[in-house]
Amino acid sequence: KNQVEQSPQSLIILEGKNCTLQCNYTVSPFSNLRWYKQDTGRGPVSLTIMTFSENTKSNGRYTATLDADTKQSSLHITASQLSDSASYICVVTWDTDKLIFGTGTRLQVFP
Amino acid sequence: IAGITQAPTSQILAAGRRMTLRCTQDMRHNAMYWYRQDLGLGLRLIHYSNTAGTTGKGEVPDGYSVSRANTDDFPLTLASAVPSQTSVYFCASRMNRENNSPLHFGNGTRLTVT
């Protein structure tokens, strides 16, 4: 069964600290993996996309990794800011155009 | 600003009533989607449209219907609302269903069915 699992479910960190969010998937055939950020009361917004051949990609303080062999991805946030408080959703595309959403990690950054 | 507009922002609805959630995009995207988001569950696809004039069923289509008369609009109708349809509904779009472009989401409609 195609699944996307994210961990942890929730995370609390202090401003300025780093954190890493995990996404494991059992999806075939894999097309790509995308991370979205969802602020409270808003729709998700794309942060980055990882294709099969990419291992690492950065978008400012966000760095995504992909290990296609172990079917794992991570999202690393460096020097967290209060505005990073949000839910982060991992979405895997399979069979060209079908999407599976993870349940998300809720991150809270405190001063 | 280009994007997706959903209306209403929130609604309280009595069970058995009919309700249409509106969604409009100005990006000329071909593919549009309706999702519901419930606590502890990932976004689940209700219905989709790959291009104007066509629609398809997603993972949880029962109790919902859609239409796609033109490129910009993709309304979602609940014919007879039930309490299990209490949720946050997101409309999304992307240029085409096959490419790697991201989904663009509206800010959602929070629906409570009493």
Q: Give the up-direction half-sphere exposure of residue B113: CA atoms within 13 A in the CB hemisphere.
A: 17
- Which chain B residue's Cα is nearest to A87? B42
Q: Residue A101 and residue B4: Cβ atoms within 8 Å?
A: no
The string of pLDDT tens digits covering residues B40-98 is 888 999 999 999 999 999 999 999 999 999 999 999 999 999 999 999 999 999 988 77
B34 CB neighbour count, 10 Å cutoff = 26
Residues of chain A contacting B92 with CB distance shorter than 8 Å: 43
The predicted structure's pLDDT at residue A108: 98
- Kindly give, in sequence order, each residue whose CB lies less than 8 Å from that of residue B24, ignoring residues fewer than 6 positions away: B4, B5, B72, B73, B74
- List, as ranges, residues 18-47 from B with C-beta within 8 Å of A: 40-45
Confidence label for B9 from pLDDT (cuts 50, 70 and 90): very high
Q: Given this model, what pLDDT does residue B35 score? A: 98
Tokens of B52: 């104007």
Which chain A residues are closer than 8 Å to B105 by Cβ?
43-45
Task: Name residue, tokens 């959602």.
Answer: B108
Q: Do A103 and B42 touch (CB under 8 A)?
A: yes
Q: What is the pLDDT of residue A52?
A: 85
Tell me whether residues A42 and B107 touch, CB distance under 8 A. yes
Q: Could you please report the per-residue DSSP string of chain A?
A: --EEEEE-SEEEEETT--EEEEEEEE-SSEEEEEEEEE-TTS--EEEEEEETT-SEEEETTEEEEEETTTTEEEEEE-S--GGG-EEEEEEEEETTTEEEE---EEEEEE-
Contact residues for A111 (Cβ-Cβ < 8 A; gap 6+):
A14, A15, A82
Q: Which residues of chain B make contact with A91, given a CB cutoff of 8 A?
A: 103
Higher pLDDT, B1 or A84: A84
Span A49-87, pLDDT tens digits: 999 888 999 999 999 999 999 999 999 999 999 999 999
Q: Report in angstroms the alpha-carbon separations of A64 from A5, A59, A107, B42.
A: 16, 8, 16, 20
Q: What is the pLDDT of residues A4-63, one digit of tens each?
A: 999 999 999 999 999 999 999 998 888 899 999 999 999 999 999 999 888 999 999 999
Judge whether B77 and B47 are in contact, CB under 8 Å. Answer: no
Nearest to B108 among A43, A93, A101 (CB): A43
The predicted pLDDT at position B80 comes to 97
Q: Is the Cβ–Cβ distance between B112 and B14 less than 8 Å?
A: no
Q: What is the pLDDT of residue A77?
A: 98
Q: Read off the tokens for A88.
A: 């982060």
**Which of A4, A89, A97, A98 should one mutate to test binding to chain B, selecting the residue with the greatest count of B CBs within 10 A?**
A97
Name the residue among A44, A91, A103 with its Cβ closest to that of B41.
A103
For residue B83, give the 3-state DSSP assignment: helix
Classify burial at A28, counting beta carbons within 10 Å of its beta carbon; exposed 0-12, middle 13-18, buried 19 or more: exposed
The pLDDT value recorded for residue B99 is 65
Looking at residue A53, its pLDDT comes to 86
Cα–Cα distance list, B26 to A10, A27, B41, B79 (Å): 35, 33, 29, 27
The span from the CA of A92 to the CA of A20, in Å, is 18
**Residue written as token pair 């989709």:** B48
The confidence band for B105, taking pLDDT boundaries of 50, 70 and 90, is very high
pLDDT band at A96 (very low <50, low <70, confident <90, very high): confident
The predicted structure's pLDDT at residue B114: 96
